[in-house]
Amino acid sequence: MALAVSGTDAADRLDGLTSWHADWRGLRVVVLGLGVTGFAAADTLAELGADVLVLTSSADDERAGLVDVIGARLVVEPLDDAPASLIDHRPDLVIASPGFHPDHPVLAWAEQTGVPVWGDIELAWRLRDKVGDPAEWILVTGTNGKTTTVQLTAAFLAAAGLRVAPCGNIGVPVLDAVRDPQGWDVLVVELSSYQLHHLRRSGPGALAPHSAVCLNLADDHIDWHGSFEAYRDAKATVYANTRVACVYNKADENTQRMVEDAEVQEGARAIGFGLGVPGPSDFGVVDGILCDRAFLEDRRNTAIELTTVIELEARDLGAPHVVANILAAAALARSAGVDPLTIRTALESFTLDAHRIATVAFEDGVRWVDDSKATNPHAAQASLRAFGSVVWIAGGLLKGVDIDDLVRTQAHRLRGAVLIGVDRSELRAAFERHAPELPLAEVDTDDTGDVMPRAVRLAAEVARAGDTVLLAPAAASMDQFADYAERGHLFTQAVHEYLKGEADDADAAPTRRDDQ
């Protein structure tokens, strides 16, 4: 039976719930959403003995069938307003899944009635002591590069012999990681701006990470946060209460200001990273050598070599934005005591995930590259800058993001462009303004299976030896594809089929023999 706790008593009780071993029994909780994060929250709270109601407007059949099994209740109904099921539950706490906008009717109801709202990250932080000594948390956010930096950091830590779990927005809920019976030494947590929005900066439940980084900041998710300033403020939360190292991007003034404004613990250091020569307390590049000038005794006069750009290029890791991610991850790992040789060794076997600036073919002097993960202009710009002469396949669902500046600044490196997706008109208009002479082609089919074969054929007509045909859409994929992975897979498949067809045609061509 649920315990009746309300008002000041409820607030005091929540403030005291900062351990797995606290008494969570009977706490009335509403979990919003039944995605991966929502299910993990419901499962965790039910295991703790809370009275859990899951509210969602739609539910995966498999997860929905498990809600009763874990000991929670599920209500699937429209959430255009605060439903009666919510009000009747009289919750002491609401757990919001990351996708719920701050102005969602249920969250507005919670604010009006004084019911606290947590995200899954705060809940996981409070419960981090389930298995032995709590793991250290290293936090990673940014507009682009989060997943790669999390994977790099985790690889460096694992190579040093630490038990490490990459988790959070990367796909594994943090709540699943803290409940893993084997326990961890370090959690490397990827955080979206949605997750950071719900984090408090002080008081009970406030995170105090070992180290943290915001990799970069560009216009993204403005529709969710309401303004760039709100988006920036959410990202800045990553540095609150940091204990050892606040890592920031020297090429992005926003991240530096975040660190300067952050309330951190005594002894925390600001560590910059960038592609230029590093200053003391920075990571950077000197004559093609990646260097650490932060974690050594004589950092004003010397530096430690980590690896070289040439070595990274040999493993498809030499793109400038990837090098920047490596420097950021190295800074985080060094802050945790990983030695430079271990980082260098780990890089020898590290590979990027699929659809992240991956070379899928090289034929007749033309490189074909899949960077379908470049789902916004900032990511596409980083990808374009990695190559000299590009035939660019771009477009998709722009979500209101301004594409004009990207076209204006990158048009000089383009041999041509092929436009795909529903928002082609905005791209076309940008090219007409900034590169009217550039060869431009469009794929106007609505057939998902035909988009990439057409795009590849059109790109091949323009490409010359020395060019890169680059899929870096600068847009979301859901207009024509299930996700960016399907978009990249179909591109790769279309490239291989096109090149095989060209080879077959060449083999079938008759050999001409001149008469003597």
Question: 176 and 209 in contact (C-beta within 8 Å)?
Answer: no
- Annotated binding residue 146: yes
d(CA 255, CA 249): 6
Helices (H) and strands (E) in the chain, counts: 20, 20
- Annotated binding residue 302: no
Q: Could you tell me which residues come within 8 angstroms of residue 264 by beta carbon, excluding any fewer than 6 positions away? A: 239, 240, 241, 242, 243, 246
Burial of 279 (0-12, 13-18, 19+ CB in 10 A): middle
- Annotated binding residue 421: no
Nearest to 113 by CA among 140, 92, 134, 97: 92
Q: DSSP letter at 41? A: H
- Annotated binding residue 307: no
Question: 435 and 407 in contact (C-beta within 8 Å)?
Answer: yes
- Annotated binding residue 308: no
DSSP 216-228: ---S-SHHHHSSH
- Annotated binding residue 147: yes
- Annotated binding residue 37: no
Interhelix angle 340-347/146-159, rounded to 10 degrees, is 120
Q: DSSP letter at 3? A: -
Nearest to 268 by CA among 292, 294, 242, 296: 242
d(CA 253, CA 255): 5
Q: Which long-range contacts (CB under 8 A, 24 or more apart) does 275-280 make?
A: 275/251, 275/320, 275/323, 275/324, 275/327, 276/250, 278/303
Q: Could you tell me which residues come within 8 angstroms of residue 34 by beta carbon, excluding any fewer than 6 positions away? A: 42, 54, 56, 59, 60, 63, 64, 67, 74
Question: 464 and 425 in contact (C-beta within 8 Å)?
Answer: no
Residue list for the binding site for ATP? 142-148
Residue numbers belonging to the annotated binding site: 142-148
